[in-house]
Structure 1
Amino acid sequence: MNATVEQLAPVEQQTSTTWVVAALYQFKEVENAAELQQQLLALVKTINLCGTLIVADEGINGTVAGDRAAIDTIHQFLLDQGFSTMEYKESLSSDKPFRKMKIKLKKEIVTLGVEVKPRDLVGHYLDPKQWNELIARDDVILIDTRNDYEYKAGTFKGAIDPKTESFREFPEYVKQNLEQHKDKKVAMFCTGGIRCEKSTSLLLQEGFNEVYHLKGGILKYLEETPTEESLWEGECFVFDGRTAVTHGVEEGVNSKCHACGWPLSPEEVALPSYEHGVSCVYCIEKTTDKQKSGFRMRQSQIAAAKRKRL
């Protein structure tokens, strides 16, 4: 299975004003990933669901949204398929967070590009309270394993930004920056926990002694940790229409530049460089006039499609 195989399912317009968003993953040996993809595709055609699910030999990963009945249906189906220890979190969105429903067949459920064994080599899981105690220490290296644009929206106090544009770059970051710290305590975190499953496995494989990660990721931390006890700063970038969430997993104030994908604060949206769907302070100098013209055409088509649906 070398290439991504993606299939789409139709998504009906939901009448409810609130969408339930479920983020889930589990590393588990899948005997026939292609067959599971087809079973999922058949199921989601019968329910009102949008989002993305990634299926691979090593497990399942994704975020989906729908009404309560649809989310319960997909959740129960996966439980029945043996995904009984899924890392599973729910939140709410006032608007439809995804345009389509995609079922992808891939080599990895999160692409690191280096073979690791997250089911066999696992770091120390920490709950939010234990996490706060650990990262407050001076002898801990705290690393944000997410991408640079995610770090920009918010991170834990004192966290290192590896400045990666994709998770595939993380192994090289480890080689270049962490090899000399194998005897140190290393704590890592990501949005929902899945990237840290592979990150900790990678470090243990490379001979690091003490590796820790936040169980359930930032989303679980924001759900369970009172604001007054939190060491989180800013908002948590999410890969759906909400852009970012904050404590209580409530929708944040950041919005997304649909030209480059970077999260924007209200102050950055107010800058002259911002044009909806066309440019922002981070990309206005990086695209040509021809590209900007194409972005404006795309936004016009999106707006027309929305008006047609109303």
Structure 2
Amino acid sequence: MASVLNISAYLFTRLADAHDLRPVLRDRAHAAGIKGTILLAEEGINMFLAGEAQAVRDFVATLRDDPRFAPLTTKESWSTAQPFGRLLVKVKREIIRMDHPTIRPDAGRAPAVAPETLRRWLDAGRDDAGREVVLLDTRNAFEVGYGAFEGARDLRLERFTQFPDAAAAAAASLRGKTVVSYCTGGIRCEKAAIHLREVGVDAYQLDGGILGYFEQVGGAHWRGECFVFDEREALTPDLVPTAGANR
């Protein structure tokens, strides 16, 4: 029986005290028996954590007591074993590295598309205005190999820092279409959509990423699994580890 709660969560919110927060969150998570990774930066927080369900949810609830983290939302899945070997809490320059400092989601997000809306567009073959919808995968190429949306465009990235140049090269072919950027949990496609709009593309982000889509509407228009950055390796659209993954 799957009894270990796994969460992924991120939030772009201004943190002037990331270095001070690090030991506080590390000690709090360690005391609760939680393992995984917490990344802190001036631009926000990014977490992949697992543990006993009530302990994980209490940790998140306490975090939300800080007004800066009040809007934090989590995506949940389950496993029968702890998928992380240890707890890491780090302070980084960015919670997701893009090396493009003008992209500041905390100052304003690109428009987001809800999973239910995206499914409706894909069912119809067009958006509500009748325009062609292009799904743009912002993940690394090896992740795409595990699974992707049907017909999605893949920029063959080795790392996310390559996205700005790849997007600029693809921009001319994307203009005039409704472009929906997507990634595992939403953090990369949030930055990606802002950059795409800067280069003249009518871009949106998939709210909650692939995992949010799985949670809300299942595997419609998806083929394969979704790679995740822990020992489970990949999840099916039912949000369970794939056969052969560490359960």
- TM-score (normalizing by structure 1): 0.72
Matched letter for residue 87 of structure 1: T
Aligned to 2:64: 79
Q: Aligned partners of 1:84, 1:54: CA distance in 2, in Å?
A: 17
Do the aligned residues in 1 keep the contact of 2:3 with 2:52 (CA within 8 Å)?
yes
Secondary structure of 1:199's counterpart equals: helix
Residue by residue, what CA displacement relative to the aligned partner does 1:207-266 show, whole Å, maximum 9, x if unpaired? 33x211211111111112145xx111111111111111112212222649xxxxxxxxxx
Cα displacement (A) at 1:17:
6.5
Stretches of 4+ aligned residues off by more than 6 angstroms: none
Rate the CA distance shift 1:254–1:162 in 2: closer, same or farther, 3 A. farther
Aligned residues: 238
Q: What is the aligned counterpart of 2:118 among 112, 131, 138?
A: 131
Do the aligned residues in 2 keep the contact of 1:244 with 1:253 (CA within 8 Å)?
no
Secondary structure of 1:45's counterpart equals: helix
Q: Write the mapping of 1:1-150 to structure 2, written as runs, cut at 5 A.
A: 18-82=3-67, 83-115=69-101, 116-135=103-122, 136-137=125-126, 139-150=132-143
Q: Aligned partners of 1:222, 1:145: CA distance in 2, in Å?
A: 17
Do the aligned residues in 2 keep the contact of 1:33 with 1:56 (CA within 8 Å)?
yes
Do the aligned residues in 2 keep the contact of 1:28 with 1:59 (CA within 8 Å)?
yes
Do the aligned residues in 2 keep the contact of 1:126 with 1:215 (CA within 8 Å)?
yes
Matched letter for residue 46 of structure 1: A
Cα displacement (A) at 1:72:
2.0
Residue by residue, what CA displacement relative to the aligned partner does 1:12-62 show, whole Å, maximum 9, x if unpaired? xxxx96211010011111121101112112212311011100001111001
Q: Aligned partners of 1:110, 1:125: CA distance in 2, in Å?
A: 18
Q: Aligned partners of 1:17, 1:174: CA distance in 2, in Å?
A: 40
Q: Aligned partners of 2:189, 2:2: CA distance in 1, in Å?
A: 34
Which residues of structure 1 form unaligned runs of 5+?
1-15, 257-310
Aligned to 1:253: 243
Which residues of structure 2 form unaligned runs of 5+?
none
Do the aligned residues in 2 keep the contact of 1:23 with 1:62 (CA within 8 Å)?
yes
Q: What is the aligned counterpart of 1:239 among 229, 243, 247?
A: 229
Q: Aligned partners of 1:162, 1:236: CA distance in 2, in Å?
A: 17
Matched letter for residue 72 of structure 1: R
Aligned to 1:225: 217
Q: Write the mapping of 1:262-301 to structure 2, written as runs, cut at 5 A.
A: none
Cα displacement (A) at 1:192:
0.7
